[in-house]
Structures are given as structure tokens and as C-alpha cells.
Amino acid sequence: ATVLADASAKIIDGKLVAKQIREEVGVEIARMKDAIGVVPGLAVILVGSRKDSQTYVRNKKKACDAVGIKSYEVNLPEDASEYEVIKHIATFNDDPSVHGILVQLPLPHHMNDENILNAVSIEKDVDGFHPVNIGRLAMQGRDPFFVPCTPKGCMELLHRSGVEIKGKRAVVIGRSNIVGTPAALLLQKANATVSIVHSKTKNPEEITRQADIIIAAVGVANLVRGSWIKPGAAIIDVGINPVDDPASPRGYRLVGDVCFEEASKVAGAITPVPGGVGPMTIAMLLSNTLDSAKRIHKFK
């Protein structure tokens, strides 16, 4: 019998694309500084002492340093009040050296996310989480000041890998405010025909199998199997799920929402985890912070 070689997807290297974007951002920051003497500033507010949040915040600071963004950090205890957080946000809203404000999520349970995200000036909301920015994203002809970093990074990966979006069928798995919903809106803006599948969808694989593009953002390890995928489709895997692995130095390793081993034999292109969307999220945050400083100082 003839053994056919497995088709093999192109791996979309998010780490490499993120590096390119960070370099582009660095060049622009230097050009702005030379021309008008302005250095972009990013304020990060971290409440509580979750290890994962501390790691993310540390990585963001490092990334800022590398491109020439000045970072400001506020650490508040787990039992801080909503009022205290909002007071810090208000101070940063009024501080002309700060062009971007990010409140690290998740917040402690006693806080209401909406009250806090509402307090961030929509012109400094580099996360794109303010309800007005999300609402504007959903409307035709009404651009938000900022697009959320993770979905923006997904789109950038599709664009920079030459994946055509216009007229294609796209399926987003997951409907969160910070990834699934804005990702679906961005795909729609890019002229795809978009479906969203979620935890209450019956037979999601029947829908995903029709997709030319899949963005998976549910947080369920290896949910999307090879059989869910149309041959040749482009797969963007947003999931970052820790699974126990005694052999790995941290005692766990990260896997996506997509079963990479199966999917990479069917798909036309696919992002790995780690090294896919994750690094893009930080690159987009830097890019949003630069854009904010440019807009505030009317620098082109």
C-alpha cells in the first residue's frame, strides 16, 4: 500500500512576528523622541499577589524597557478597596507623562471590574477594555481609540502570514469580552462571515469544520481536534492552559485550546502554544501605547 505523507501546516511563528513588531515600535519611539522629545509612558496597576499576574506584569515592564517606553507600576494589596484603585487610575488619567493605563486582570472578587474599567480614560485605555471602546468596535463607522491586544495580535498574525480574510468563513470559539467577542468583531470588520461557538453550542465541530479561519479562545486544553478542522484552514490558538508535567522544570507545561499534533496535520497554517499569540499580546500593548502617545501629542 502507498503511504501518503501527512500534510503539514505552516507554523505561524508569533514569537518572531512579535519581535519584528517590537523592533518597529522601538524605531518609531526613537523617531518621536528625537522629533518632539516625548517618551511614551505606560502605567500598570496590579492588585493582589497572584503569581501569574506578577509574571505577566514583570514581562510587560521588560518589554517596555526594551523599546523605550517608560513604565509606572502600582502594586496594591489583595484587600485594597475599589476606591483606592480608582484613585490611582484618576491620578494616571491626569498625568501627562502617562499615555496608557492597564489594570491587570483578574481583579480580586470583591471588586467590580466594570466600575474599575469605566474609570480609565478612553484615550489611555491601551487594553481596549473600556465599555465605550468595546462598543465602538461593535459599530460600523465608529472606530474605538484602542483594540484589545490579544484579538489585535490574532489579526496581525493572520495579516502578516498572508491569510486572506475577505469573503472567508471564520469561526471564533469562545465569547469572552476580552478575546472571543472582539476577535469576532475584528474578523467581521475584515469582511469575513463570522460564527461564534461557545459552551452551549450543539455539535460545535459541525460549524468549525466549515471554517477557513478558526480563532480558539475558550481555555479548554486540546478541545479542538483534527476532525474539527477543514483541510487547509488557518488556526489561531489563543489558549494558554497549564497541564501537569513532572518532566518539565516548572512542573507543568502550557498547551493551547487546539490539539496541535492532530491539527497541524490538517490545517494550512497554525500558531503554536507557547510562541504563538502570547508574545503578540505584549507586542500589541507596546504598539497601542506608542499610538496613544502619538495621538495625544499629534505626532505623525
List active site positions.
60, 104, 127
Scored b (16 or more CB within 10 A) or e, 59-71 reads ebbebbeebbbeb
Question: Quick check: 240 binds ligand GUE (CB under 6 A)?
Answer: yes
Which of 38, 105 has the CB closer to ligand GUE?
105
Which of 171, 267, 279, 294 is close enough to bind ligand GUE by CB under 6 A? 279
Q: Of 195 and 264, which has the nearer Cβ to ligand GUE?
A: 264
Cell 483541510 belongs to which residue? 231
C-alpha cell at 249: 522544570
Question: Binding ligand GUE by CB under 6 A: which of 39, 105, 190, 296?
Answer: 105
Contact 266, 259 (CB under 8 A): no
User: Which member of 282, 286, 290, 293 binds ligand GUE (CB under 6 A)?
Assistant: 282
Question: Least distance from C-beta 92 to ligand GUE, angstroms?
Answer: 14
Between residue 22 and residue 61, which ones bind ligand GUE under the rule CB under 6 A? 56
Q: How far is the CB of 104 from ligand GUE (least distance, A)?
A: 5
Q: State the binding string over 259-278 for ligand GUE (x if CB under 6 A, else -).
A: --------------xxx--x
- CB nearer to ligand GUE: give 40 or 182: 182
Residue in the shown chain whose Cβ atom is closest to ligand GUE: 278
Helix/strand/coil for 243: strand
The SS3 assignment for 170 reads strand
CB of 2 to ligand GUE, least distance (A): 38
Q: Interface with ligand GUE by CB under 6 A: which residues?
A: 56, 102-105, 127, 149, 240, 254, 273-275, 278-279, 281-282
